[in-house]
Each structure stands twice: as structure tokens, then as C-alpha cells.
Amino acid sequence: MPSYHHLHLVSDATGETVGTVVRACSVQFRQIETIEHAWTMVRTPLHMERVLAGIGANPGPVLFTLVDGKLRRQLTEGCARLAVPCVSILDPVIAVLASHYGVETEGRPGAQHEMDAEYFERIAAMDFALAHDDGAGLETIHKADVILLGVSRTSKTPTTVYLANRGIRAANYPLVPGVALPQEIERAEGPLIVGLTKDPARLVDIRRNRLRMIGGDAKEDDYVDLDSVRREVAEARRLFTRHGWPVVDVTRRSIEETAAAIITRLANHRAEQAEGAAR
């Protein structure tokens, strides 16, 4: 039986940062059910008073991302009076960076959400991903940073979208048994091409569930026949090996973990391209 605890997330912006940290940490405490209280866009002493009143009504740990010194003091002193722990999740990182760079922080609330060049790069990357999903847009696929290849249900589309949200122009193409790879991909020299693979038995389970969801027939045709799927996966792996393309097994990986592996390979790919251009 899980136990329930209140948890307060206080931010001077959207609360996305503190929320992400909390979700990453909370999975380590599966026996605990947290009741999250999100206090966002807290930028005035009056608003902070309302926050402290809410914390007092439902005492629990407080995690915050605040850059204004007065609001920070108001929150930490208020939490001390209420005898609840209060932690800034940004302080350790900011302290290390400030020490290393030898400069002081600017203290701008929500600065990470400003509509700068990086923001527009992410929007452009998302547009690119949508225009090059599932084999579309072959005529411009050479402009991608990354091209993902894989048989059906190897998480190509969600991984592409996740990469796009990181500002990476990603395209994906489905491998179909007996269908040759388009020349547009064979000839693409700039993009990093990555093969995605998955355990055949797991693929069969996912494909069966997919067919049920869309009201299809999950009978033993090649799409869900284990021996056929094994051959399909093996054929895809031979293609990847023949071209020397890196392979990521997504069987036990989340989308985030798959994307992280691809981002690492992309960094190496870009470094190799830069070295080649410098020669």
C-alpha cells in the first residue's frame, strides 16, 4: 500500500525544469505516492505569501527554481518557520558554472524559455521531422542531421519527434521486406544514418497490440508471425552492417535513452566530418 506525501514545486517561470527533475527522482521511490502542488510564475512577494500559505496548509518538501534573491529568502525563511525542507535544484549547477566561468549570474526568471535562435531552430526541426516522417520528403532527406531506419514498430517516429524537440533535424524511413532502400538515402552523405532494431518476440507483441487498437486482424500473417519477423529483423541488420551504419537496440530503452544514444553518435559524426573538412 503506497504512502502519500505532499510535494511543493515553486518556480518563477513555467515550472518545467523543477517538474522534470522531480519526475526523474520520483521513479526511485515507487512505494511513495506524491501529491504535487505546482506554484508557477511566482514573481512578487504577494504571490509568495500565497505560496507559503498553501505550503502551510499541506506541509511537505519544497523544491524551487527562483533567481530573485528577495523571493528566495522569503521562501526559505517561510519554510524554516513551517519546519519543512526547502531545496533549490539550480544552486549546485549555477555555483559550479559561475566558479568555472568566473562570472556572476544575471538572475533572469525564465531565461531558458526566451524566443531566441535556439527556440526557432527547434521549431524548424519539428517542421522538418513532420515533413520527413515514415518515408515522406525523400527529395530533401539529405538535409537531415539524422535519418532513422527500422522495421515497423521500432519507435522511429517518437524518437524523431524527441530529437526534433532538441533542435535536431531528424527523418525516418520504414524498412519493408523485399523493398529496396531508396537511392535518396543510399546516396545521402551528410546525415548520420542510424538503424533501430528490437527483439523479434517483443516486436510481435507490440504489433499484435497495435492491430487490436486499430481494429485489425491479428491472425498469423507475416506481420505478426515470429519466424517472419525474425527474418525481417535479420535482413534489416544485414543492411545496417553492409553500409557500416550504427545500430541502436531499442528493446529495453525508453525514447529518451534511445535519443541520448543517437545524440552521442551524432556528436561523434559531426566531429569526424569537421576533421575530414580540415584535412
With contact defined as beta carbons under 8 Å apart, do 184 and 138 qualify? yes
Strand positions, DSSP E, 89-174: 146-150, 170-174
Tell me which residue has cell 527547434: 122
Residue 200's domain is classified under what CATH number? Answer: 3.40.50
Instruction: Write down which residue in 94, 112, 130 finishes a domain.
Output: 112
Say whether 152 counts as a known binding-site residue.
yes
Say whether 151 counts as a known binding-site residue.
yes
Q: What is the value of pTM for the model shown?
A: 0.64
Residues 85 and 146 in one domain: no
Residues 44 and 164 in one domain: no
Residues 243 and 263 in one domain: yes
Residues 80 and 204 in one domain: no
Say whether 150 counts as a known binding-site residue.
yes
Residues 141 and 82 in one domain: no
Q: Which domain holds residue 243?
A: 117-278
Residues 199 and 156 in one domain: yes
Residues 177 and 247 in one domain: yes
What is the average per-residue pLDDT within 255-264?
A: 92
Q: Tell whether the model's pLDDT for residue 140 goes beyond 70.
A: yes
What is the average per-residue pLDDT within 133-143?
A: 96
Of 20-34, 110-124, 177-191, the least confident: 110-124
Say whether 107 counts as a known binding-site residue.
no
Q: Tell whether the model's pLDDT for residue 129 goes beyond 90.
A: yes
Residues 86 and 145 in one domain: no
User: For the segment 23-59, what is each residue's pLDDT rounded down to a tens digit?
Assistant: 778 777 777 788 889 999 899 999 999 999 999 999 9
Instruction: Write down which residue in 91, 112, 133 finishes a domain.
Output: 112
With contact defined as beta carbons under 8 Å apart, do 22 and 7 qualify? yes
Cα radius of gyration (the chain) = 24
Residues 123 and 197 in one domain: yes
Helix or strand or coil: residue 125? helix
Q: How far apart are alpha carbons 162 and 123 in whole angstroms?
A: 12
Residues 272 and 140 in one domain: yes
How would you class 132 by CB atoms within 10 Å of its CB: exposed for 0-12, middle for 13-18, buried for 19 or more? buried
Residues 182 and 216 in one domain: yes
Say whether 20 counts as a known binding-site residue.
no
Residue 96's domain is classified under what CATH number? Answer: 3.40.50.2300
Residues 34 and 74 in one domain: yes
Number of domains in the chain: 2
Higher-confidence residue of 213 and 185: namely 185
Instruction: Write down which residue in 112, 133, 164 finishes a domain.
Output: 112
Of 81-90, 99-108, 152-161, 229-238, the least confident: 99-108
